[in-house]
Amino acid sequence: CFRDSPPAVSFLGILPFPPRGPRSRRLGFEEARWRALGQKLCPSPPSIPFLSSIHTDAGEGARLASLQGGPAMGSMTIGAKYKTTVKDPGTPGVLRMVRKNEDKFTFTPNDPRSAMKLNVDFRGIKGHKFNKVDGSKRAPPLLNLFKDSEKGGGYIFEFDNVANRDLCRDFVARVLGKHQGSVPSRSNVPPENLGASNGPEQLSAEEVDRRMKLLREDSELQKLHKKFVLGNILQESEFWATRKNLLDDEANKASKQKPGFKSAMLADVRPSADGRTNKITFNLTTEIIHQIFAEKPAVHRAFLDFVPKKMSEKDFWTKYCRAEYLLRTKNTVAAAAEAAEDEELAVFLKNDDILAKEAKFKIKRVDPTLDMEADVGDDYIHLPDHGILRDGSKETVDNDSELARRTLSQDLNRHAAVVLEGRASDVELIDAKTVAEALVRSKKEPSSTSSADDANRERLVKVARMTEIEDLQAPRSLPYAPLCIKDPRDYFDSQQANALGSFGGNNDGRKVRNCRLSTDDVFHHLRDQISSIKINKLDDPVVKSDMSLKVLNELNEGISRSRRLNLKNPQESLLGRLPQHTRDELMDHWTAIQELLRHFWSSYPITNVVLYNKVCLHHLFLYTFASLGSIQVQRVKDAMTQIYHKLQTVKESAQPDVRHEISQLVKPMTQALDAAFNHDLEQQQKSSKVGSKFNGF
């Protein structure tokens, strides 16, 4: 009659022959796998080792099933049952997954006579599936490792509890992720292996989400990420270490706006009728239930009262739907009859008394300075004789009948009022029970203010007007003084001139002349000069006319030259004259170089401090540490040499007419790389000197 809202992920055993389910179930698996990587679907327990059931059979299979180690575990041993099909009762045994030199898993049955031994390499496993386990369905937790999604052929393991299964599942996910590089994605989402990549970094699901969102939005960042992280030059943590501010901004941007109710009247559920079997079906999703509770407080109260004490949830909703159906049809007689029979049904058929009370309250609280005449008669929401009744009839009806006659305008007004009130909480709508409870919690607040006196109320109103509207405020990111580069072109063009070695025009060869006189002499000289200043000398023209003309010309020329060199017009600039692909290539190289250099320079002090620290007991440890540090640097250096060579080829392959410009642009890049290589060489020479001291060890 009705189904739960999000399609439940149900497990279909993959058998040695192709699955015969409809397509939609297949997608459910992908979704499940995808969610497994994000660790959203089944909350996995913290990875603390615990003892699983002990199999006391003799033989090779007898082992304490235990979990070893934390996230960077090399192997996992756990008790499980191996099944060839879902229906198979399963062979109990021990499942052991190893991740050392070769990744494989073995299954050893408890019964040494059984032939169900397995020793499978993870390379052959293409994927894994698992089923969702919840209280209502009695299904054992299953994990399926399949070879090929088309043909099937896999291994099904049943576990004693969900926790075990989840741990195995995570382990398998990591192994598979490592093997396949990046998990093949059906959708266009950039690097999915963020969650499954190597490294013991524990990332929360939101962190992973944020990173991917950033990568999706910024294609430059994505390119860099692809080049370096997936090319195994840099690690994830290093890459994101410098971009913390971006991630934090993302987090702050997470909208504080609460989505409100839809303006469509979902509470007005329409059944679908099945002409053949005389059945009508109501579809109730959690969203609809939420709206129903919000709009009809009497139903909400009934739900809290009746469920689960008097009737189950399913029964409740059945009755509600029946009541709706009766109201919708013009069958007042039948409605009255049923109401007389069934108490609970009658609840739904009556007028909503909670609403009526609320409306009366509101009328009483109208500001008397605004409307002196407000009274009960203005409660047009609940008065009869207004509007068109839902079933289209217009005649008034006696008020004795307890059955509710709802008018369209009443329903619309109520819905509008609820929408404007907004959603009070952000509770995830999992099922009707939580929704009901959440609403109860949120409704507690208004009742307290209804008892406030007039003065208080006015004050509150004023305060409400003055408070900030959170939604409309800009996100509060970390307080920092903003960098103020007024004209970036100014700055960067001037740096270019710096690099080219020219400084503010031609030097006219004025040399610094060091003062050879003593202090006293010097001061004397100055004093003499001052005395020689005579007032009548001021009458002469202070600057001769030809001199002044010269100055003016020079100033003008200087200004126009600086304009030319600063190149306000972007088309004429250095970059603009190059063909598009060269320009893009150079820009790519430049961003890559910057990234690499950043990592290069940041890793240097490790080797420095370590190498120079001679007073210690752990020479060997430090020495190995120095070499570890240099492994990181080595990766970066290799990448840098690659780019260096690429730059050379770019220069050489350039067209002769733009060759000069290209070499000008490439020069700062090569200079930066050269400085880095030189520094590295120095360090290596120093380390080799120090290293020779350790040779004795």
Partner 1 sequence: MTSSHSKLYSDDVSLVVVVVDTNPFFWAEAALPFANFFEHLVHFVNSILLLNHLNRVVVIAAGVSSCAYIFDSSDATAPGGAGVAATFDKTKHKVKEFIDQDALATKGNSSVDSNNAASLLSGALSLALCYIQRIFRSGTRHPQPRILCLQGSRDGPEQYVAVMNSIFSAQRSMVPIDSCIVGTQDSAFLQQASYITGGVYLKPQELNGLFEYLAAVFATDLHSRTFLRLPKTLGVDFRASCFCHKKTIDMGYVCSVCLSIFCKNQKKCSTCGSEFSRVMPDLNSMPDQSK
| Footprint (CB under 8 A) of partner 1, residues 408-437 | none
Residue 13 neighbours by CB under 8 Å, 6+ apart:
83, 85, 86, 87, 142, 144, 156
Q: Please tell me whether residue 681 binds partner 1 under the rule CB under 8 A.
A: no
**CB nearer to partner 1: pick between 503 and 697:** 503
3-class state of residue 534 by DSSP: coil
Stretch that binds partner 1, among 121-129, 135-143, 182-190, 628-636 (CB under 8 A): 628-636
Q: Please tell me whether residue 478 binds partner 1 under the rule CB under 8 A.
A: no
Instruction: Choose which of 205, 334, 460, 559 interacts with partner 1 (CB under 8 A).
Output: 559
Q: Residue 112: which of 86, 89, 94 has the closest Cα?
A: 94
Residues contacting partner 1: total by CB under 8 A: 73
**CB nearer to partner 1: pick between 207 and 238:** 238
Q: Please tell me whether residue 627 binds partner 1 under the rule CB under 8 A.
A: no
Residue 207 neighbours by CB under 8 Å, 6+ apart:
247
Q: Please tell me whether residue 483 binds partner 1 under the rule CB under 8 A.
A: no
Q: Please tell me whether residue 518 binds partner 1 under the rule CB under 8 A.
A: yes
The nearest distance, CB 617 to partner 1, in angstroms, is 15
d(CA 90, CA 4) in angstroms, rounded, equals 31
Taking residues 66 to 105 in sequence order and writing x for each that binds partner 1 by CB under 8 A, - otherwise, the string is --xx--x-xx------------------------x-----
d(CA 692, CA 697) in angstroms, rounded, equals 10
**CB nearer to partner 1: pick between 222 and 608:** 608
The nearest distance, CB 308 to partner 1, in angstroms, is 48
Asked whether the beta carbons of 243 and 228 are under 8 A apart, the reply is: no
Q: Please tell me whether residue 605 binds partner 1 under the rule CB under 8 A.
A: yes
d(CA 588, CA 666) in angstroms, rounded, equals 12
Instruction: Choose which of 452, 517, 587, 681 interacts with partner 1 (CB under 8 A).
Output: 517
Q: Please tell me whether residue 201 binds partner 1 under the rule CB under 8 A.
A: yes
Asked whether the beta carbons of 144 and 125 are under 8 A apart, the reply is: no
User: Which residue, chain included where needed, has tokens 């020329």?
Assistant: 557
**CB nearer to partner 1: pick between 99 and 382:** 99
d(CA 434, CA 427) in angstroms, rounded, equals 8
Stretch that binds partner 1, among 13-21, 325-333, 504-512, 568-576 (CB under 8 A): 504-512
Interior angle at CA 427, CA 422 and CA 430, nearest 5: 120
Contact positions with partner 1 (CB under 8 A) in 137-166: none
The nearest distance, CB 622 to partner 1, in angstroms, is 10
Q: Please tell me whether residue 630 binds partner 1 under the rule CB under 8 A.
A: no
**CB nearer to partner 1: pick between 123 and 525:** 525
Q: Please tell me whether residue 569 binds partner 1 under the rule CB under 8 A.
A: no
The nearest distance, CB 530 to partner 1, in angstroms, is 6
3-state SS string for 137-182: CCCCCEEEEEEECCCEEEEEEECCCHHHHHHHHHHHHHHHHHHCCC
Contact positions with partner 1 (CB under 8 A) in 652-671: none
**CB nearer to partner 1: pick between 448 and 531:** 531
d(CA 619, CA 248) in angstroms, rounded, equals 40
Residue 162 neighbours by CB under 8 Å, 6+ apart:
42, 133, 141
